[in-house]
Amino acid sequence: MPARARTYRAQILGVGSPVLCDDAAGIAVVERLQAEGLPAGVTATVGGAGGLALLDLIEDCDWLIVVDAAVTGSTPGTLHQFGARDLESGPTLHLAPTHGFDLPMVLQLLEVEGRNPPRAIRIIGIEAADVQTLSETCTPAVQKATARVAAMIRSCLGEKSPQPL
């Protein structure tokens, strides 16, 4: 039996705080994609601080790409990529398994609500330099990284019929 078509073929969800410097890395990626125009069937969402709020923001889609800041001790701007199941060892700031609010948990709660979680999930963590100083701009290394991530996502999703907003 063929799988039911989803509302979107892909959703890019950027999580983080818009005013805490590099914590906004995920949001910066989403805003860049929105400004450049999204391919057909793709939606991009600014996601807040994660947690159960994700329940309100995850769309009915085939493929969910979550972008978030990460603090692992690597060089700022380093990209970490993993699937939802790898989150046990992948500490991004707003999705890490803090014993109750991790992304796999949110996906299970979606099912409890009777909704369909995305078929495939990819998480991209951007290594942050500073996530404590109040600022609306990211540090230079992270700004460069957000451009790279947006380009990466765009090439994954294909450039067919881009729709400027």
Partner 1 sequence: MSERITISPITRLEGHGKIDIFLDEAGKVRDCYLQVVELRGFEKFCQGRPVEELPRITAKICGVCPGAHHMASSKAADEVYGVRIPPTAEKLRRLFYNAHIAHSHILHFYALAAPDFLPGAEAGPERRNILGLIQSVGREEGREVLAHRGYAQKIQGMIAGHPIHPVSSLPGGMSKSLRERERAEIEPMSDSLVHFAQKSLRLFEDLVLRRKSSREMISGDTYYSRTYYMGLVDASGCVDFYDGTARVTTPDGSLFASFDPRDYLEHIGEHVEPWTYLKFPFLKSVGWKGLMDGEDSGIYRVNSLARLNVADGMATPLAQQEYEKLFDFFGGKPVHHTMAYHWARLIENLQACEELVRLSRDPEITGEDIRTLPGKPVGEGVGAVEAARGTLFHHYKTDAQGMVEQANLIVATVQNNAAMNLSVKRAAERLIENGSPEEAILDRVEMAFRAYDPCLACATHHLPGKTPLEVRLIRPEGTVRTLSRGPEGEG
Q: Whose Cβ is closer to partner 1: residue 94's or residue 122's?
A: 94
CB of 27 to partner 1, least distance (A): 10
CB of 148 to partner 1, least distance (A): 24
CB of 47 to partner 1, least distance (A): 8
DSSP per residue over 10-61, as a string?
A: EEEEE-S-TTBGGGGHHHHHHHHHHHH-BPTTEEEEE-TT-GGGHHHH--SE
CB of 149 to partner 1, least distance (A): 20
Tally the C-alpha atoms within 13 A of residue 81's C-alpha that lie toward its C-beta.
Answer: 8
The residues of the shown chain that bind partner 1, judged by CB under 8 A, are 17-20, 23, 46-53, 55-57, 71, 88-91, 93-94, 96-101, 105, 108-109, 112-114, 131-135
Q: Whose Cβ is closer to partner 1: residue 3's or residue 112's?
A: 112
Q: Whose Cβ is closer to partner 1: residue 18's or residue 162's?
A: 18
What angle do helix axes 25-36 and 140-157 make, rounded to 10 degrees?
Answer: 50
Q: According to DSSP H, which parts of 37-132 are helical?
A: 54-57, 103-112
